[in-house]
Structure 1
Amino acid sequence: MIRFGVIGTNWITDRFLEAAGLVEDVKLTAVYSRSLDRAKAFATKHQAEYTFSDLQEFASSDQFDAVYIASPTSFHAEQAILCMENGKHAFVEKPFASNQREVEKMIEVSRKHQVLLMEGMKTTLLPNFNLLREQINEIGPVRRFVANFCQYSSRYDRYKEGEVANAFKPEFSNGALMDIGVYTVYPMVTLFGMPDQVSANVIMLDSGVDGLGTMEIKYPELTADLMFSKITNSYIPSEIQGENGSIVIDKWSDMQRLTKIDRDGNTTDISVNQEKNTMYYEINHFVELIKSGQLESPINSFEHSLNTIKVLDQARRSVGLVFPADKA
């Protein structure tokens, strides 16, 4: 039985635990929140026995084996490092951390203390992403990669009314690029590696983070166009274009449907059914890694996480988007 502790008591942690309920040998035993009342309420909701409002006491507790970290991005590195130093495996929500320096430190601590560390990017662990990887060679050589993920945030309504939620605060290393854009970058570097050139264009909000934007990416033999937003929706699918055909992807983050189209316009649905809660696949993968004694995912690997944060850092530099964490 793998006993989990969680940091963060928001909706994404609810979804994580819903998906974890589909995985064998997983149990929630501990909850941390800065507010003990919130921790107790969340623990009662999910039948967890132990609650903490002191992070050091939580990290050093012997009541859990692995931690799921779903706090604001600016806290990821500090919290993951503390837990790993106390022998806990760490599953850290995307984006992994605020910048490359923090990610490198997290990896260093994981290796030093011989514990598993993995970024919670679900897309690359989906069955349909595996199919996508297999089918790319059939349409290749690939010349253009278009990933589109624009999702209007309910918090933006509050923002326009004068309430700046954590999702739009630079001190938490948030904004559209980090929260949504990461979904377009991570699968790209998993498929094609680190690009040669990265540039971005964004719409900045008065709070100091970006609301939406695009990235223009250059590889030696292909270009990539990445679109992301927290202040608009988009209903345009994503697409990978090869000289011998294309693959169209509906709902990029979940890869709900893959359609292969040959040069003559003939279409084939190549997708498979997936669990409704697509977080299942990343959680199951993480648990299997623990059971088999592995300290790094071969799919959501350190290399992929490092390349992702490097792209995000370069994109931010190209538009002058600086977080307080960058000055630490």
Structure 2
Amino acid sequence: MVRFGVIGTNWITERFIDGAKQVDDFSLTAVYSRTKDKAEAFAAKYDVGQTYTDLDEFAQSDIVDAVYVASPNSLHAEQAIRCMQHGKHVIVEKAMASNSKEVAAMIKAAKENNVLLMEALKTTHMPNFEVIKNNLHKIGTIRRYFASYCQYSTRYDKLKDGTVLNAFDPKFSNGSLMDIGIYCVYPMIALFGKPNKWQANAHMLYSGVDGQGSILFDYDQINGMVMYSKISNSFVPSEIQGEKGSIIIDNIQSLSKVEIRYNDGTIEDIAEPQVENTMFYEAKAFITLIKENKKQSDINTFAVSLQTAEVLEEARKQFGLVFPADKA
């Protein structure tokens, strides 16, 4: 069994645990929160007896082998590095950190302490992402990547009423790009590498973060475009366009439906069945890496995480969003 401790007591942690429980070798043994009441209430849901409010005590725990970090983005680097310094393997919720400097420091800590570090970007571990990669050759020379993820946030209603929650607070290194825009950018880099250049724009909210935005990317032979939003919905599919056809993706975040539409009008359904809680796939991949004594994912590699952080950071600079963490 791989004994997990979790940092963060929100819905995404619950989602991860519910997905990870489908993996035979997963065991939840400890919960960390900055407040005792939250830690104990969350632990009670899963019949976990050990809770921590001191990060050092949690990191040194002898009942924890691996840690899932799902705190606000601004806390990821410090918490992950502290855990890795005490020999814990770490899977960190996306975005991996506030900026590329923090991501580089996390990678350095993983190497120095000989532990596994992986960004919890679930999409790239899903069966249908592998399907997309394996079928790219069918559409000929790739010419365009387009991804859209626009999902109206109920937290935006709170913001309009004057309450700034974590999701829209720059001190937590949040905003639309960091929260959901990354679902568009990360797969592009995983498939095609880091672009040569990019141009970003965004609509900024009074709280100091972006509510929505778009980015144009240039490769040698490919144009890329992503659009994302937490203040509006979109029902437009994503697609990868080639000279012989296009791969149509119903939702870049879930990949539940994938098909190829060829230039001659024929349509090929290439999607495979996926489990309902798709966080299962990242949990399974992470646990498998631990059991195989590997220190880096060959899918969510250090290079992809670092390149994604560099792209997001430069995009934010272009539309004027600088986090407090960027000045540290």
The alignment's TM-score, normalised by the length of structure 1, stands at 0.99
Q: Partners in 2 of 1:243 and 1:20 — Cα distance?
A: 40
User: Residue 161 of structure 2 corresponds to which residue in structure 1?
Assistant: 161
Structure 2's unaligned 5+ residue stretches are none
When the two chains are superposed, the root-mean-square deviation of aligned CA atoms in Å is 0.6
Q: Deviations over 1:227-257 (max 9, x none)?
A: 1111111100001100010010011111010
Q: Write the mapping of 1:1-328 to structure 2, written as runs, cut at 5 A.
A: 1-328=1-328
Q: Is the 8 A contact 1:149 1:229 kept in 2?
A: yes
Aligned residues: 328
Structure 1's unaligned 5+ residue stretches are none
Q: Deviations over 1:79-100 (max 9, x none)?
A: 0000000100000000000001
Q: Is the 8 A contact 1:7 1:69 kept in 2?
A: yes
Q: Partners in 1 of 2:154 and 2:27 — Cα distance?
A: 31
Identity of aligned residues (%): 54
Q: Partners in 2 of 1:115 and 1:49 — Cα distance?
A: 26
Please report how far the alpha carbon of residue 313 of structure 1 lies from its aligned counterpart in structure 2 after TM superposition.
Answer: 1.0
Q: Partners in 2 of 1:23 and 1:152 — Cα distance?
A: 32
Please report how far the alpha carbon of residue 320 of structure 1 lies from its aligned counterpart in structure 2 after TM superposition.
Answer: 1.6
Q: Is the 8 A contact 1:125 1:299 kept in 2?
A: yes
Q: Deviations over 1:259-312 (max 9, x none)?
A: 101101211111011000000000000000000000000000001101111110
Structure 1 residue ranges, 4+ long, deviating more than 6 angstroms after superposition: none
The amino acid across from 1:256 in the alignment is S
Q: Partners in 2 of 1:7 and 1:232 — Cα distance?
A: 30
Q: Is the 8 A contact 1:74 1:171 kept in 2?
A: yes
The amino acid across from 1:163 in the alignment is T
Range with bigger deviation, 166-175 or 134-143: 134-143
Q: Secondary structure at the match of 1:6?
A: strand
Q: Deviations over 1:160-190 (max 9, x none)?
A: 1111100000000000011111111110001
Q: Deviations over 1:121-153 (max 9, x none)?
A: 000000000000011111021101000011111
Q: Partners in 1 of 2:72 and 2:140 — Cα distance?
A: 39
